[in-house]
Amino acid sequence: MRTFLAVKPDGVERGLIGEVIKRIEDKGLKIIGLKMIWLDREKAEEHYAEHKGKDFFNELIEYITSKPIVAMAIEGPDAVPVVRNLIGTTNPAEANPGTIRGDYGLEISENIVHAADSQENAERELNLYFNEEEFQEY
């Protein structure tokens, strides 16, 4: 199973890319795609299309396009739920210690990482950021 994870601008700015990668690899998951990119508004709006029309949408798009992100394709058994458990709940104040957001997140709008919340969204997000040829199987 594959899933998508991104280190958001605050995680990149705070130098947490290595920590996020370490936690993924320590869990036994494989990173089969990895790239640092600066999202344009169009791709950001496509990524967060389900939030269009919500009060926080424009703020979210401004934030996610403000600095680079690190996009990752991750592979392993039950990758979607395993990665969701690794990152913790969306609100860092409610995330358990030991999760990425619980340990490093400061506020709900800047919570270090994004991860696909379903297999369907994982496939959509992987296709948005990666071509199949970019995956490195090992």
Long-range pairs, 83-87, Cβ under 8 A, ≥24: 83/3, 83/5, 83/24, 83/29, 83/115, 83/116, 84/115, 84/117, 86/23, 86/24, 86/27, 86/115, 87/5, 87/112, 87/113, 87/115
Among residues 2, 8, 84, 114, the one annotated as catalytic is 114
Distance CA 32, CA 29 (A): 9
CA-based nearest residue to 39, from 114, 115, 129, 134? 129
Known catalytic residue at 47: no
Based on the number of CB atoms within 10 Å of its own CB, is 24 exposed (0-12), middle (13-18) or buried (19 or more)?
Answer: buried
Known catalytic residues are 114
